[in-house]
Amino acid sequence: MHFAQYYLDCLSQASYLIGDKTTGRAVLVDPRRDIDDYLHDAEAAGLRIELVIETHIHADFLSGHLELARATGATIAFGEAAETGFPIRRLRDGERLSLGADDGQGVTLTVLATPGHTLESICLVLREHPDDDVPFGVLTGDTLFVGDVGRPDLLSAAGHTPQDMAARLHRSLHTKLLTLPDATRVFPAHGAGSACGRSLSSETSSTIGDQRRFNYALQPMPVDDFIRLVTAGQPATPGYFAHDAALNRDGHPLLEPGPPPALTLDEALAAREQGAVLLDCRPLAAYTRAHLTGSLHTSLDTRFAEYAGSVVTPGTPIVLLTDPGTEQEARLRLARIGYDHVLGHLPDPAAVLDRSPALSSRSRRIRYEELGLREPQLAGAAGADGARTGGTEPADPIPTDSLPTDFLPTDSPPTDSVPADIQLIDVRNPAEYEAGALPGARNLPLAGLSHRIAELDPSRPVVLYCRSGNRSVIAAALLEARGFTDVCDVIGGYDAVGTGAQ
């Protein structure tokens, strides 16, 4: 058997190439849109990709089933309940897919219908030989993760309540997956940082036995308790999820390779006048030091596509502001979530800003101490990182030159809340906020902020914070692009408060 996992850190997404070396027949499960690695590895291993299987209709990335079907002639397969806008093979519960010879021997996959995350969700039990008592492993899609289970609330808009889907998920877990031997390896579709669950581990594989013992959602409990547990505290849903789910269901244009064209400053500004957004992809420190006024921001060294999909409306034309040599990476990572309308890129933004200081702005950032607040009860908040809450972000080194000169520390004694005219906004996910927050802060997660800006008063100051200072800068850029003029964020975020308290 040939078995390979492909893990994409920036989207916390896993895909799998499985083949029978004797016959050369192979399947690819949950592929991303850029397929060159799969094709290269299959050719090197002497494999023919005959079937592309989707464990469900994905919402967090644009899948590569159409690209692979064009490149290889492979058939696209989904669970039997899937409704799509293109021809598919429907896989029935209990169906066995043999990659071996006609004698029935060889690598075999058995389909398990496991509704709960979505209606059409399936898992695939993989055996190197069809009569193996202990399977090699099970590909669990978004039904079971290492340390978590799939969120059941993504179909609310389609009339299926999270409680109903959670009950289905419970049945799928206990009547299908947990009946497998403990030694069966678990290969999920996502890891830590994914918004498809709230407590995903950074480990990319496990075993059924370990998950039975250590996964919080698989511990013995009444069904009603399970439903309450898995429907609470889920990460905010990024704005692009519905867009990607529709494209994965109905069909999408095929990925076009190649770098985006270079634009002049005048061309970039003219594109913005026509409705495009300027997306600054440089590292956080470079952006906060100087950026084109009104540009959005999300750095390539973090969860670039997910954050871009949270602040840029699907279908909006995009002009990239990238460090030299990174424009193709930025375009590809946007394409992985279906953001194909990239008009071009502005080469070397730092040099452009040096030549055009009148078009440049500097981010306003403050230290926590400058808010004049008492230190909150942390309740373990310093540990509320991405592995537990779905809110990963790299620690932000504090740039000593980024403090605004007009925001000076106060000599007043600490208080329990900020002044009434200041809007203190926590842009972390709900579970992070519930684990501990700054006094007087409201929770408006970054993923949904663009749809809730009307809840804020642009005439009053806004102070933003997150865990470490990354998401808050992204949120500040969004507010400034929407016309807010008095916005700053807390350097180091809530982690800085935890460090100070210790």
Instruction: Decide the pairing of beta strands 25-29 and 48-53.
Output: parallel
* DSSP secondary structure letter of residue 185: E
Closest alpha carbon to 30 in 11, 48, 44: 11
Active site residue 281: no
- Three-state DSSP class for residue 383: helix
Separation of alpha carbons 375 and 355, rounded Å: 43
Largest CA distance in the chain: 83
Check residue 113 and give left, alpha or beta (phi > 0: left; psi -120 to 50: alpha).
beta
Virtual CA dihedral for 13, 300, 485, 439, nearest 10 degrees? 50
Separation of alpha carbons 191 and 198, rounded Å: 10
Residue 29 contacts residue 18 (beta carbons within 8 Å): yes
**Other CB atoms within 10 A of residue 4 CB:** 16
Of 123, 196, 281, 466, the active-site residue reads: 466
Separation of alpha carbons 389 and 233, rounded Å: 9
Separation of alpha carbons 284 and 194, rounded Å: 21
Q: What are 488's two structure tokens?
A: 């700053």
Closest alpha carbon to 465 in 406, 408, 418: 418
Separation of alpha carbons 403 and 405, rounded Å: 6
Q: What are 401's two structure tokens?
A: 């030159």
Residue 473, CB-side half-sphere exposure with 13 Å CA sphere: 33
Separation of alpha carbons 220 and 197, rounded Å: 20
Give the helix ranges, DSSP H, for 29-161.
36-44, 65-72
Question: Which 3-state string (H, E, C) describes 355-372?
Answer: HCHHHEECCCEECHHHHC
Q: Which residues are catalytic?
A: 466
